[in-house]
A and B are shown apart, each in its own frame.
Chain A
Amino acid sequence: MDPDTDIGGAQQRFPVTNQSAIAAARSDDHVTRERAFATILNSYWKPAYKYIRLKWQANNEDAKDLTQGFFANAFEKNHFAKYDARKASFQTFLRTCLDGFVANQRKAGQRLKRGGDVNHFQLDFISAEDEIAMQAANVDPNNLSPEDYFHREWVRWMFTMAVNTLRVRCETAGRKVHFQLFEAYDLGDQDVSYSSLAQTFGLDQATVNNYLAATRRDFRRIVLEKLREITATDEEFRTEARSLLGVELK
């Protein structure tokens, strides 16, 4: 499995849940809190890392330490349980906490030294660095405010995770071809037609149409599941759905 999704480590200590991780972060049960934390970490570490690199102009090693340190500190002190959905979205809350943490670290002269007391999560910083390099080649992130950049990267990360979950689910359910069609038609670099896909995969065009429609539906459900996990209330879920998809949901 790709290390990016394997936050809980090889033993899958932190299986994800479809319930709100934000709400679960307040649980008295340690295991429930751990799971909730893993979901939040999984959903936010990469945008957080990139944000630190951009806004705080941190080099990659410092950004790694600050990302690890921020989440470790938040977990130890159960910061996420303090989130109040009435005041702001969770994304804004997390970003504000992150700013506070980095500012404090900078003020204290970077006392969080590499290899110090920080709990190390298995985070694929190399892929994050590759993405920053690819982005720099395509779009100048300096054209965005750091807040907008954080949001944009969070959206990108949400969809990246959703695609990966879709791939895993399709493979598990014996629907590998479904994902391959989705990958070729919706994620591929080249424009392909249904008829060329039908030819490539040895299917008729109606089947390609049906498989793609079903896979897209699954993708949509996964995106909404992920959104549900990282929002605290129904209202916040709807707000984030509007922001992410531009639709109102019941």
Chain B
Amino acid sequence: MKWLPDSKVSHLRAIAAEPDFSATKYTFVKELARGGMGTVYLADDTELNRQVAIKVLSTPELTEDLRRRMVREAQIIARLEHPGIVPVHDVGVLPDGRIFYAMKFVRGVRLDEYAANTESIKDRLRKFQSVCDAMAFAHAHGVIHRDLKPQNIMIGSFGEVLVLDWGVAKILQGDQSVASEADTLMLPPRGSNKAGDTAHGTVIGTRQYMSPEQARGEIGQLDERADIYSLGAVLYFLLTNQAPSEARPRSLNPKVTKPAEAVCLKAMAQDRSQRYAGAAELSADVGRLLDAAPVAAYRENVLEKVSRWVGKNRFLVLLVLAYLLMRIFFIFSSRG
């Protein structure tokens, strides 16, 4: 029997972990990414002759009730037509019982990769605002994402922003009161949130970007504000280059302004009633940040108002100052 070196063992391990798509219209191409919620593969859609991204969820149980509900939810999510949303094309179950979702395969960079190459906070905020707009659209259609994080947001080849991975999204309308065993959240142990982790018992969410109510497993209580928290966590990352922690953004990056920090912390409020009521409201405040206008999340004192006004109208201020200096110069020179 031939001895298998470590490299071959790793390769065979990857082969053995490949999903069995034999009962579907997809053929396996390669693994794209692996996370706590599941693994994303590139596959060929043999019927439509195109490539798709397929996420195979890491789920320990699949009841018939859950399967039906997931298919129905996938159908609703698939109807979300927005340029910032990559919807689910298809949902199914593999022979080993794992659930999979087929999504459009997007070529581009993830938001965390984009941030690594983009210094400008303004540029980052513009992308973030697009994410808020896409989420506002989804919320208006009664859909919450439940797993927003930089790794689930892509910047496409033309700079467009796309929210991915709606595989664990939830439909708020209709069955909000229906609680099933499948709705019970099981979280990875603390400290196991590395991107490469396949955490035991993980069903929904990524702890660092997850609202407190979601982390507590209060699934029936989740609404748009859970996503608002996650959006705030994404903003925290964009402002600090770090995943959310106890530290205030300004302590990690002194370039972050007080209003920007306030917007971030308001979105991430522990008490959800203190958060923005909707993604559109958050988007509007981010727009104000970009326009150097006063934001709803922060009450400025007079000095800050003046300072912001000066910062916003720097050219005008310089012009007035130059004019005044000239007048003073003429006054003194005419006296001399």
- Spell out A's residues near B (CB within 8 Å): 2, 4-5, 127, 130-131, 134, 138-139, 155-156, 159-160, 162-164, 186-187, 209, 213-214, 216-217, 219-220, 223-224, 238-239, 242, 244-250
Contacts and interface: CB of A to CB of B under 8 A. Distances in A.
Interface in B1-60: 1-6, 8-9, 11-13, 15-18, 20, 22, 27-28, 34, 39, 56, 58-60
A127 B4 CA distance: 12
Interface residues of B, number: 32
Given A242-B198, A250-B61, 17 more contacts: A4-B1, A127-B3, A130-B3, A131-B3, A155-B9, A156-B6, A156-B9, A159-B13, A163-B12, A186-B8, A186-B15, A245-B16, A245-B17, A246-B13, A246-B198, A248-B60, A250-B60
A107 B200 CA distance: 40
Contacts, number: 94
B1 A186 contact: no
Given A186-B11, A217-B22, A242-B198, A248 B3 contact: no
B16 A213 contact: no
A113 to B, nearest CB: 30
B98 interface: yes
* Residue among A130, A156, A224, A247 with max Cβ neighbours from chain B (10 Å): A247
Contacts of A187: 2, 4, 8
A212 to B, nearest CB: 10
B58 A219 contact: no
B3 A250 contact: no
B97 A249 contact: yes
Q: Which of B16, B61, B97 has the most CB of A within 10 A?
A: B16
Nearest to B20: A217
B137 to A, nearest CB: 32
Contact of B4 (A4, A163, A245, A248): A163
B62 interface: yes
B61 A223 contact: no
B175 interface: no
Nearest to B93: A250
B5 A127 contact: no
